[in-house]
Chains A and B, each alone.
Chain A
Amino acid sequence: MTAKNTLLLTLTSAVISIALCMVYQKIYSDQLFLDFSSVLSPMAVIGACTIGALLLAWGNFFALKYVKKHGQVIYNLLVGILSFASIIGPLAQKLPLDVEFPEMFPGLAIPMHFFPVLAHLAVLPLFVGSRQ
């Protein structure tokens, strides 16, 4: 996996995960008549997905470079476990006291924690060359 492919992987998985998050947030808000945009703004979603995609892609790059045996499998398992562990964040988060129905916030935020890793794993085969 080259640095160029890593950057392209970052951009592609970021765009896909941002799109997934935006669509999911729109459906969730409209169906349940809730508005958490003051806590989870579009800019925050874009920023978080981009950072997530960057970390995932470059982590993958270094994993393939330094873990010769089953590096990809080990890395995939690791990011899956870390994504799952990250749901503690939305569960423990305290929202501003003027935001209504804080108990509905995890239902919005937790799935979004899986979109970056799903996007990364979905498009990864396009960027990991046959040389690997």
Chain B
Amino acid sequence: MPGLKWGIFLNFQTMKTSLLYGTASALLFLSSAFMFKAAVTWKIDDKKYALKFSAGEAEGVVKGLKGTIKFDEADLASSSFNVTADVTTINTGNGMMNKHAKGKEWLDADTYPTIGFTSSSFEKTDKGYTVKGRLKLKGVTKEISIPFTFIKNAFKGSFKIKRKDYNITKDGVNEEVSIDLLVPVKK
């Protein structure tokens, strides 16, 4: 029966074609899957990080840093910082100054217990990198840029802010506040 033979042959051809297309699709899928490499997620080394601020005679540190740090030097587009620091941990080395710093006229720690930073973009520069993002301090959110380096699994950066931009208007310290960051991380 030639019709039946032809039918069987056609079915076989169809099956072979389907199998071929299916295999090609699977190979394409597998190869594409390996292209989606996520940025490395880093854990903050709780014992070694330092967040220091300085505004003339007033200087100190803030602790309680936590959040998500994703960073890949080869893939800045998928990197992100989303971190907060605990304002109530502020330490200037003097008990009375600490109390003032946490008070309503300064950082108002009862109402705004954290300082947060969320990145929006990263850029490679001659000296390292620059991250742009939103800094939230005392209820005010502003776009800032932080130049930093990433050497031996440690982020190191410095930037300055004007405290009056964040409703910290009481006189007594410099208008400009320098902030120095050192955040060692591990995988």
Contact = CB atoms under 8 A, between A and B. Distances in A.
Interface of A: 91-97, 99-106
A91 B91 CA distance: 15
B80 interface: no
A101 B63 CA distance: 13
Given A97-B60, A97-B61, A103 B93 contact: no
Interface stretch (B94-102, B141-149, B150-158, B162-170): B94-102
Interface residues of B, number: 12
A93 B97 CA distance: 10
Interface in B73-113: 91-99
Contact of A94 (B52, B61, B92, B99): B92
Given A97-B91, A101-B95, 9 more contacts: A92-B94, A93-B94, A94-B92, A95-B94, A97-B52, A102-B94, A103-B95, A103-B96, A105-B95
A96 B98 CA distance: 13
Contacts of A95: 93-94
Contacts of B94: 92-95, 102
Interface of B: 52, 60-61, 91-99
Contacts of B99: 103
A106 B95 contact: yes
Nearest to A103: B95
Nearest to B57: A94
Nearest to A105: B95
Point out which of B60, B61, B91 has the most chain A C-beta atoms below 10 A from its C-beta: B91
30 contacts: A92-B94, A93-B93, A93-B94, A94-B92, A94-B93, A94-B94, A94-B97, A95-B93, A95-B94, A96-B93, A97-B52, A97-B60, A97-B61, A97-B91, A97-B92, A97-B93, A100-B91, A101-B95, A102-B91, A102-B92, A102-B93, A102-B94, A102-B95, A102-B98, A103-B95, A103-B96, A103-B98, A103-B99, A104-B95, A106-B95
B3 to A, nearest CB: 92
A64 B96 CA distance: 40
Nearest to A100: B91
A97 B92 CA distance: 7
Nearest to A101: B95
Contacts of A97: 52, 60-61, 91-93
A90 to B, nearest CB: 10
